[in-house]
Amino acid sequence: MQGEQPLPQQSDNDGSTGGIGGRSAGRVVGRSMADRTKPSRTVPGHRRSFLEVAGVGLKFGVDMPLRSDGVLRARRHSNVSRIRCIDFNMLRPIEIQPEFLGHPLPWDLFDRYGVLLLARGATISDPTQVARLNARKLFARAEDLGDLEVSEMLSPFTALAEVAATLARVFEAGAGQGVAPRLLRMADTIRAVIATDQDASLGWIALDRGAPYCIRHSIAVALICELIGNELGIPAAEQRSVLCAALTMNVGMQALQDRLTSRNGQLSQEERAQIAAHPERGRLWLQARGVIDEVWLAAVGDHHELLDGRGYPRGLTASMIAVPARLIALADIYCAKTGERFYRPPKLPSTAARDILRGRSSGVDPMLAGILFRLIGAHPPGTLVRLANREVAVITHNAIGGPPVVVGVLNPMDEPLPQPTVRDASKLATSIRSYVTFDPALHRFDLDRLWGYAH
């Protein structure tokens, strides 16, 4: 069928092949089929407020020994990549201030994976422990913090819509107008969105088309930078600078960027010159509006430099390109490949990540590309698939070790279902048979309903 791509063949332990799910889906040693198919995060009709480890619920504090710095640690298991707190309220970045020493904490304190570190009421009396905790990425529930930049953030999609609207206003700022405080708050929101629901964030990148391309692309790059930055353990202050750079990397050519996505044709000489100059123009634009952060400015100026020296505008080589610029370059290429153009459909997220990892986009950092490929997974959230029953479904959660969680959205005639319905991809009748190319003109979905945030 037009717009569909077959699945790669997958081998089971007995040598048989087939689609994802059904009898031929890969086995996971030590886990039952029921365990494999339990969602690892919030899905429609499946809301829980406890820790889940590969589908097994654990209450706070269970199997969490104390670390030497006095905080709780979650034991890692060979088949589990992380433990996440399932919570409806968005987490917000926070630092422990010196005035909290010797006083009960007014909120629960979480790490970037949503694992509870210290419960409300815990008392910290050692200044060195405060320093060690602040060196991590710390978060608290939005409802506990009170005064929020984005009030009553009902879902990651609500928060990202706020970011898109604010970013559009920032791009209109004139010289002399300070933009750094607003962008730093947007960076904090990006961090909170990823901390709250990584799968929904990837779904937004793949499926949301509510803002102009330049705005969407910049936010998508920032989300990918936050995903990878979490894995790298980049310090919080530097990561905020990286996210601000990602949000403003194309401020020097935003109007041209929107025009180029809607046409098919060769660039004029003037357009090529604009593209080549936009990193430096963006850096100067930011300086004229009060930005003095060197990490931020350098990342904007160097985000098109490649390790092999083929980048622009300065043709830097590997030893001259800092990690923030490498990170944005990789995320920029990935998001460009997965975004549609007037002249071509978007690439599948997993295909785009694999192409980059295999070196078809040479010049990017191979270590960062490997992290991206691992984080995206084989079946990234937001991917459209055709099921064995001929329904079209959206992958909402990339479950660990088993079939992904899928939500049916279109019937076999490609008409909307009365409501999104979770399908069991482990069953033969509803296993995944092929990928469907996303078409924004045909595929318009309520993302809040798909990810279980609608009221």
pLDDT tens per residue across span 99-144: 788 888 888 887 755 667 888 888 888 888 888 888 766 778 766 7
Q: Which residue has the tokens 């019937």?
A: 411
Alpha helices in 27-86 (DSSP H): 33-36
Alpha helices in 249-319 (DSSP H): 254-260, 269-287, 294-302
Q: Which residues contact 448 (CB under 8 A, 6 or more apart)?
A: 154, 155, 157, 158, 454
List, in sequence order, every residue forming a beta bridge with 360; answer none if it has no partner. none
With respect to residue 196, please indicate whether it lies within any of the assigned structural domains: yes
With respect to residue 145, please indicate whether it lies within any of the assigned structural domains: no
- For the stretch 172-205, pLDDT in tens is 888 778 899 999 999 999 998 998 889 999 999 9
Distance from C-alpha of 236 to C-alpha of 52, rounded to nearest angstrom: 26
**What per-residue string of b and e applies to 290-301 under the rule 16 or more CB within 10 Å gives b?**
ebebebbbbbbb
With respect to residue 437, please indicate whether it lies within any of the assigned structural domains: yes
Q: Are residues 279 and 317 in the same domain?
A: yes
Q: Are residues 43 and 179 in the same domain?
A: no
Q: Are residues 175 and 306 in the same domain?
A: yes
Task: Supply 34's token pair.
Answer: 């029921």
With respect to residue 350, please indicate whether it lies within any of the assigned structural domains: yes
List, in sequence order, every residue forming a beta bridge with 141; answer none if it has no partner. 91
Q: Which of 356, 376, 396 is the last residue of a domain?
A: 376
With respect to residue 150, please indicate whether it lies within any of the assigned structural domains: no
Distance from C-alpha of 321 to C-alpha of 248, rounded to nearest angstrom: 18
Q: What confidence category does residue 350 fall into, taking pLDDT thresholds of 50, 70 and 90?
A: confident
With respect to residue 306, please indicate whether it lies within any of the assigned structural domains: yes
Q: Are residues 180 and 248 in the same domain?
A: yes
Instruction: Name the DSSP letter for residue 48.
Output: -
DSSP string, 186-204: HHHHHHHHHHH-HHHHHHH
For 89, half-sphere exposure in the C-beta direction (CA atoms, 13 angstrom radius) is: 16
20 pLDDT above the threshold of 80: no
Q: Are residues 211 and 335 in the same domain?
A: yes
Q: Which residues contact 269 (CB under 8 A, 6 or more apart)?
A: none
Q: Long-range contacts made by residues 363-367, C-beta under 8 angstroms, separation at least 24? A: 363/306, 363/307, 363/308, 363/310, 363/311, 363/329, 364/306, 364/307, 364/326, 364/329, 364/330, 364/333, 365/307, 365/326, 365/327, 365/329, 365/330
Q: Which of 348, 376, 404 is the last residue of a domain?
A: 376
Q: Which of 376, 408, 430 is the last residue of a domain?
A: 376
- For the stretch 239-254, pLDDT in tens is 999 999 999 999 988 7
The answer to whether 7 and 19 have CB atoms below 8 angstroms apart is yes
Q: Are residues 25 and 168 in the same domain?
A: no
Q: Are residues 232 and 359 in the same domain?
A: yes
Q: Are residues 335 and 431 in the same domain?
A: no
**For residues 38 and 1, which has the higher predicted lDDT (pLDDT)?**
1
372 pLDDT above the threshold of 50: yes
With respect to residue 151, please indicate whether it lies within any of the assigned structural domains: no
**What per-residue string of b and e applies to 195-208 under the rule 16 or more CB within 10 Å gives b?**
bbbbbbbbbbbbbb
CATH number at 276 reads 1.10.3210.10
With respect to residue 149, please indicate whether it lies within any of the assigned structural domains: no
Of 43-47, 157-161, 358-362, highest mean pLDDT: 157-161
Q: Which residue has the tokens 């202050």?
A: 237
Q: Read off the amino acid at residue 316.
A: L
Average pLDDT over residues 206-232: 95
Average pLDDT over residues 217-240: 96
Instruction: Name the DSSP letter for residue 428.
Output: G
Q: Are residues 393 and 356 in the same domain?
A: no
- For the stretch 424-440, pLDDT in tens is 999 999 999 999 988 87
Average pLDDT of the chain, as a whole number: 77
DSSP string, 146-166: ---SSTT--SHHHHHHHHHHH
What is residue 223's predicted lDDT score, i.e. its pLDDT?
98
Q: Are residues 235 and 366 in the same domain?
A: yes
Domain that holds residue 413: 1-47+383-455
Distance from C-alpha of 350 to C-alpha of 374, rounded to nearest angstrom: 10
**For residues 344 and 97, which has the higher predicted lDDT (pLDDT)?**
97
Q: Are residues 328 and 308 in the same domain?
A: yes
- For the stretch 380-429, pLDDT in tens is 999 999 999 999 999 999 876 778 999 999 999 999 999 999 999 999 99
What is residue 113's predicted lDDT score, i.e. its pLDDT?
53
Domain count, the chain: 3
Report CA-CA distances (Å) from 183 to 1, 190, 200, 322, 332.
44, 10, 22, 21, 19
- For the stretch 2-15, pLDDT in tens is 467 666 544 333 33
Q: Are residues 355 and 445 in the same domain?
A: no
What is residue 178's predicted lDDT score, i.e. its pLDDT?
83
Q: Which residue has the tokens 């490929």?
A: 373
Q: Which residues contact 2 (CB under 8 A, 6 or more apart)?
A: none
Edge-to-edge strand list for the sheet holding 405-410: 4-6, 432-436, 384-387, 392-397, 405-410, 416-423
